[in-house]
Structure 1
Amino acid sequence: MKQSWSDLRAEALSSPEARESYDATRIRFELGSAVRERREALGMTQAQLAQAAGLRQPAVARFEAGGTMPTLPLLERLAEALGPRLQVGFETLDRAG
């Protein structure tokens, strides 16, 4: 019998190590997407954001692609360069992505 994608995914994520890796990847992707969307809404290039945040353009590209897990100081620098105040908080599990 052929397994569905959701069954395969559930089976693959059944180990704690796989779930932890998946969650870390999801967080990196969501943070990178949020920065990219804000940057594009402001009409900024990656190079302009990098300069405003004191980074290099390849670092911004890696971050936006979900390739790196940022530190809070890095997120603060990006937020300052993009305008909004960085807000860090906790959500109940029924609301978390």
Structure 2
Amino acid sequence: MSHARWKSPRARALAEGLAETPEIAAERAEIRLAMAFAKAVYDRRTQLGLSQVEVAARAGLTQAKISRIEGADAVPTLSLLRRLAGALEASLTISLDDDSEEVAFVARPAA
């Protein structure tokens, strides 16, 4: 019995030798980066035991904006990244390669 029918349409297309267009590949990379950033914000916030409201107040944002960031629905600007890093008491590290994205908030050493 073949389980090929259980594969996603993308997996089947790739298995058949069909390649993604550059536009689709770029969009997929952008989505991965947005999701990596969203996860990093959520992980650091919960590590600190803060609510979205508390992070929003620290960063001068609304709770709805923090929710959109954690839901990967917002594209942050550089100034927003700086405000979030400050609110989360951390430095922000972003590493981008051709096929991977890594986003991490690194706790600042205690003064």
Q: Same fold (TM over 0.5)?
A: yes
Give the direction of change, closer, same or farther, for the CA distance of 1:9–1:21 in structure 2 (3 Å limit): farther
- Per the normalisation by structure 2, the TM-score is 0.72
Aligned position for 1:2: 5
When you count helix as a share of all residues, which structure comes out higher? 1
Q: What's the offset of the Cα at 1:47?
A: 0.5
User: Between Structure 1 and Structure 2, whose CA radius of gyration is higher?
Assistant: 2
Aligned length: 95
Counterpart in the other structure of 1:64? 70
Deviates more, 1:80-89 or 1:25-34: 80-89
What do you get for the CA RMSD once the two structures are aligned? 2.6
SS of the aligned residue for 2:5 comes to coil
Normalized against structure 1, the TM-score is what?
A: 0.81
Aligned to 2:107: none
Residues of 1 paired with 2:21 and 2:58: CA distance?
41
Runs of 5+ consecutive residues of structure 2 not aligned to the other structure: 102-111
| 3-state SS, counterpart of residue 12 of structure 2 | helix
Counterparts in 2 of 1:8 and 1:67: CA distance versus 1, 3 Å: farther
Counterpart secondary structure, 1:14 = coil
Write out per-residue CA displacement over residues 4-58 of structure 1, whole angstroms, 9 at most, x where no aligned residue.
3362374786111111111111101100110001001111000000010010000
Aligned residues: percent identity?
A: 31
Tell me the residue number matched to 1:47. 53
Give distance in 2, aligned partners of 1:9 and 1:41.
40
Alpha-carbon shift at residue 86 of structure 1 (Å) = 2.4
Work out the CA distance in 1 between the residues paired with 2:52 and 2:22: 36
**Which 5+ residue runs of structure 1 have no aligned equivalent?**
none
1:19 paired residue number: 25
